[in-house]
Amino acid sequence: MDPRPNGAPSTSQRWWPPVMLDPDWVSAHHEDFDVFHLHFGFDAQSPAQLSALVDALRRHGKPLVYTVHDLRNPHQPDPAAHDAALDVVIPAADHLVTLTPGAARSIRGRWNRTATVLPHPHVVDLTRLSRPRPDRDRFRVGVHAKSLRPNMSVLPVVRVLADTVAQLPDAELRVNIHHEVADPASPSHAPQVLTALAELADQGRITLTVHDYYDDEQLWDYLESLDLSVLPYLFGTHSGWLEACHDLGTAVAAPDCGFYAQQRPCLTYGHSQEHGLDGESLRRAVLRAYEERPASRARVQHRMQERDELAAAHRALYASVL
């Protein structure tokens, strides 16, 4: 578990840069670990701070393993800061891991480094994963706007979906968003988005739900209530949301930016920061989901085998860098 900084209580939901990214922490605790494996959490670290971390690890003879989940940070509209961080971490890592062949090719092209491709493990617990999906008589499409992350373009996607779903018998469009979007004190405050969504709801074109963050069980219930979850991303690389949908048997329509289609089976539509939204491809993805009802659900046995294989692969790569 990541140590709490500044005496933060164990129940705190506040995000902070992991204490273990501090070179002083490495110097104080280098005898407590063998390998430093980085995944996320260095958004707030400058290239100089990351270089100091790398130097501390080298000084104490501790190998660095980095799993490249994000070639493009979904929380940062400008890629420059994340690119600068990757320019420190990727060349310095003793071993790189990523989730898809496309990401590995990008890493090879940009940094001339080889990354081992390993799949993302299941995110839904195995007991819940084995539970049958609930029956229902309507086709339900969902967009979860969360707290309007910078990589989301919600309104254009929702408008195309509303037009498409309105033409389908026994179909509905549900849009979820967090309460903090309506809070003037929140960094996520976006009253114009909420107003536009409320207007669509008043017109009967969407069902709008404004709520607090879901816990895991609430999130799994929500995802199981959908036949199709549409990811409204303009940029990104991989997706834990996609993994959860795969665990629960909910079809996904993912944008063609990033490497979502290589991560798990999904429908794809055109959507990127460079080219904007291809509404026709989104419409086709919804129609295909409606007509074919694709349900690429993970099997418990396969997820268990996959987890065992991932554990063995990590053990081998850790041994190779020690």
Quick one: pLDDT band at residue 1, thresholds 50, 70, 90? Answer: very low
Helices (H) and strands (E) in the chain, counts: 12, 12
Q: What is the pLDDT of residues 24-68, one digit of tens each?
A: 999 999 999 999 999 999 999 999 999 999 999 999 999 999 999
Amino acid letter, 193:
V
Amino acid letter, 299:
R
Summarize the confidence of residues 283-295 as an average pLDDT: 93
**pTM passes above 0.75:** yes
Q: What region, left, alpha or beta, does residue 293 occupy, with left being phi > 0 and alpha being psi -120 to 50 degrees?
A: left
14-28, 112-126, 184-198: range with lowest mean pLDDT: 14-28
* Distance separating alpha carbons of residues 13 and 9, to the nearest angstrom: 9
Q: What is the pLDDT of residues 129-160, one digit of tens each?
A: 999 999 888 999 999 999 999 999 999 999 99
* Distance separating alpha carbons of residues 8 and 18, to the nearest angstrom: 12
Instruction: Using alpha carbons, select from 273, 243, 240 the residue that is nearest to residue 79.
Output: 273
Instruction: Using alpha carbons, select from 211, 225, 264, 258 the residue that is nearest to residue 241.
Output: 264
* Distance separating alpha carbons of residues 53 and 39, to the nearest angstrom: 14
Tokens 């940094």, located at residue: 111
